Each structure stands twice: as C-alpha cells, then as structure tokens.
C-alpha cells in the first residue's frame, strides 16, 4: 500500500501513513491480509485520522461517552458485498426451488427445473467473481478453503459457496442426461437445494455476527430476512421471464410467500432494533431511513400489484421490477445503516448499558463508562 503525506492542523511537519497508522519501525505486518488494500483512498483515511480537535467536545453528565468518538471501526465493505448478498440469495433460492420441483412427477416442470439449475450455475459463478472482487485476488478465496472451521461464519460461507458451485454444476450438466448420469444429476439437484438454503441465509448470520449495534441487535432476524428476501428475488425474476401457466403458478406462490415474509421480517427487525431506541435510529432518520422505507414500499407495491385479479403481462413486468428493486435495495440499505450505526458512539454505549450486546451474548456484565 503506497504511503501518503498529511499534516496535522497547526503543524508544519508532515506525517507519513499507510492508512493503517502502524509504525513499521516497531511492528511488522504479516499474514494473509497484510497487503490488503483498504476501501477508499489512503489520503481520505489519513486526513480523517489526522484531524485534531480545536476544542474538546463537552460530555453530557447524564449520557457520557468517550468524547463522542465512535467505539468501533465502520465496515469497509465495498459494493461487491451487498451485491453478493443479493446474487447469492437469488442463487440459493433458485436451487431450493429446483430441488422442490424435482419431487414427484416432473413431466410438466422440466423447464422450470432446468431454469432453476441454470440460474444456480450462473449465480455461483457470479458470486465467486464478486467474492474475488472484494478480497482482491483469487488466491485469498482459495486460502479460506485451507481450513474447515465451523466456528467461523466466513469460513463456512466459503465452503457453502464451493459446495453449491459443484452441486449446481452437476445438476445443470448431468440431470438432462439419461441413465446413471441422470440419477447423479438428480442427487446433485437435491443436495444443491440443501446448500442453496445455506447460501441464501449464511450472509445474514455473517452480518449479525458483529459488534455493530444495529446488526448485533438484529442478529436473530437477519438470516430469516435474507432467506425470505431470496425467495422474493426468485419469484420476481420469474415474473419477468416465465410464460408457462404451470411454471408461473409455482413461482408465483414461491415469490408471494417470500415477499410477504420479507415485509414481516423487516418489521420485526425494526422492533428488535428499537428495544434500545438509539440503536434503531439509522432505520428512521437520514438517508438510511429513506432507503429502508423505500425498500419496503417497493416490495409492498410489487406484492400488491402481483395479487391483483387482472394479471396482465405489463402488470407482471412492473410487479417483478418493483419486487426486484426492493430486494436489491434492502441488501444495500442493511450495509449502509450498519455503517451509520458503527459511527454512532451513543448507540454502542446505550446498547451495552441496557444489558445487550456482548453482555447479552456472554451472560456477563462489563464496566461501561
């Protein structure tokens, strides 16, 4: 990482920094992430860190913090991560739907099964590319597969993506064959459905496994929210592409259940976060509140249009587009409100003083200012 020069306020001497503020004369950066680039430019980060106060903030006696400074580093996720959440969810839900469609007499559902496996195969390829984009180079993805660590959600996610890739490829290539190859493809299709359910939900577990107040408060509902939103994503995608009445009947039911459950999960998330009012603030104020309400409005409007009696093709297309935009926007909004929550020092302090956060998870209380 190239260094950059900045100056403290009221100072002449420049300060050299690699954006991580580590003095290499007394410390050595080693390990897999030693050369990883931080998001944004080094200059932007250094300018933020080098800024000093002209006047110290005045603490509030009845609501003290550490000079109103954030306790947490905000997430450094780039656009690739919420996009990965959406594409991975869409992929996983398509594999689940394909596995369910394989049950019983499949004569009238062959095209639907084939579509699901095609989406699953394409989705895992795109998901892998997005993961490489976020990590920087392919070797870092492979390094995550050197160990199998059930206690690490990220490590399990890498294995889930790998398993989904192999099984989706097997189902897509082998199931159209005959004889033993078809039976192997059938098995891959069922197994891909199991891995697909994990692929659609593990990102919610990963997001909630954090100290960020809003995400931490929502950790129980986030996997469900991501899972049902994945169902909604598949349903709305098929609204745009499927013409067969039989296929549309199944995909419509799948998507409608997903959209309804997605709206319910978003309401539950608001209530869980609002147990400590300060924690829920990003969902109600500023850009985060606008995006959150917009995502709910898009999903709700798409659901209502999809349930109208006169279901013309144009109305189906509008309904599918609105539902798709709602699911995509929800993923990006969850990432944004998490960043806002990490910047809010009072959210962290209020959550800890109320006995939530680490105290809730460990069952132990900690001294907080």
Give the pLDDT band of residue 358 (cuts 50, 70, 90): low
Average pLDDT over residues 90-117: 91
DSSP-based three-state secondary structure for 4? strand
DSSP-based three-state secondary structure for 149? coil
Q: H helices within 274-354, ranges in order?
A: 286-306, 313-343, 345-353
Show the tokens assigned to 356. 């939530």
Per residue in 37-55, pLDDT tens? 555 555 555 555 555 556 6
Q: What is the pLDDT of residue 240?
A: 84
- How far, CA to CA in Å, does 145 sit from each of 27, 31, 120, 174, 178? 28, 16, 21, 26, 34
Average pLDDT over residues 162-188: 93
Instruction: Report which of 217, 259, 239 is spatially closest to residue 320, judged by C-alpha positions.
Output: 239
Neighbour count for residue 256 (Cβ, 10 Å): 17
Return d(Cα 16, Cα 10) in angstroms, integer.
16
* Sequence-separated (6 or more) residues with CB below 8 Å from residue 276: 213, 217, 347, 350, 351, 354, 356
* Sequence-separated (6 or more) residues with CB below 8 Å from residue 249: none
Length of the chain equals 369
Q: What is the pLDDT of residue 361?
A: 62
Please check the confidence at residue 2 and state whether its pLDDT lies above 50: no
Question: Can you list the domains of the chain with their CATH numbers?
Answer: 80-362 (1.20.1630.10)
Average pLDDT over residues 329-353: 92
Burial status of residue 144 (CB atoms within 10 A of its CB: 0-12, 13-18, 19 or more): buried
Give the pLDDT band of residue 62 (cuts 50, 70, 90): confident
Per residue in 289-326, pLDDT tens? 999 999 999 999 999 988 887 778 888 889 999 999 99
Q: What is the pLDDT of residue 368?
A: 47
By mean pLDDT, which of 37-41, 147-151, 222-226, 252-256 is the weakest? 37-41
Instruction: Report which of 258, 255, 251 is spatially closest to residue 116, judged by C-alpha positions.
Output: 251
Percent of the chain with pLDDT over 90: 53
Q: What is the pLDDT of residue 354?
A: 85
Please check the confidence at residue 6 and state whether its pLDDT lies above 60: no
DSSP-based three-state secondary structure for 7? strand
Return d(Cα 319, Cα 330) in angstroms, integer.
17
What are the φ/ψ torsions at residue 17 (nearest 5 degrees)? -150, 150
Neighbour count for residue 146 (Cβ, 10 Å): 9
Please check the confidence at residue 12 and state whether its pLDDT lies above 70: no
Q: What is the pLDDT of residue 315?
A: 86
Please check the confidence at residue 3 and state whether its pLDDT lies above 60: no
């Amino acid at each position: 990482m190239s260094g950059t020069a900045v100056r403290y306020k009221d100072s002449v001497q420049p300060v050299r920094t690699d954006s991580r503020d580590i003095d290499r004369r007394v410390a050595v950066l080693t390990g897999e992430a030693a050369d990883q680039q931080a998001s944004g430019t080094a200059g932007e980060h250094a300018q933020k860190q080098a800024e000093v106060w002209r006047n110290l903030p005045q603490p509030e006696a009845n609501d003290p913090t550490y000079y109103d400074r954030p306790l947490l580093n905000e997430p450094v996720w780039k656009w690739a991560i919420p996009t990965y959440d959406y594409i991975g969810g869409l992929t996983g839900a398509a594999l689940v739907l394909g596995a369910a469609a394989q049950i019983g007499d499949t004569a009238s559902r062959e095209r639907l099964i084939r579509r699901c496996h095609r989406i699953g195969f394409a989705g895992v390829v795109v998901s892998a590319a997005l993961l490489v984009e976020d990590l920087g180079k392919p070797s870092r993805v492979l390094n995550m597969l050197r160990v199998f660590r059930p206690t690490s959600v990220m490590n399990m996610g890498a294995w889930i993506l790998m398993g989904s890739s192999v099984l989706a490829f097997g189902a897509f290539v082998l199931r159209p064959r005959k004889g033993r190859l078809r039976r192997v493809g059938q098995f891959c299709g069922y197994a891909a459905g199991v891995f697909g359910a994990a692929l659609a939900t593990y990102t919610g577990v990963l997001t909630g496994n954090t100290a960020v107040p809003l995400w931490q408060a929502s950790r129980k509902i986030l996997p469900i929210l991501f899972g049902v939103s994945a169902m909604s994503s598949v349903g709305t995608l098929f609204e745009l592409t499927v013409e067969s009445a039989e296929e549309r009947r199944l995909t419509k039911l799948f998507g409608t259940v997903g959209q309804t459950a997605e709206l319910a999960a978003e309401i539950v998330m608001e209530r869980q976060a609002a147990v400590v009012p300060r924690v829920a603030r990003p969902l109600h104020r500023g850009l985060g509140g606008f995006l959150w309400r917009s995502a709910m409005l898009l999903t709700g409007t798409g659901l209502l249009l999809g349930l109208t009696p006169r279901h013309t093709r144009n109305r189906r297309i509008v309904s599918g587009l609105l539902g798709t935009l709602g699911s995509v926007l929800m993923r990006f909004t969850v990432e944004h409100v998490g960043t806002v929550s990490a910047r809010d020092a009072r959210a962290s302090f209020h959550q800890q003083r109320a006995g939530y956060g680490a105290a809730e998870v460990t069952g132990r209380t900690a001294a907080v200012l």
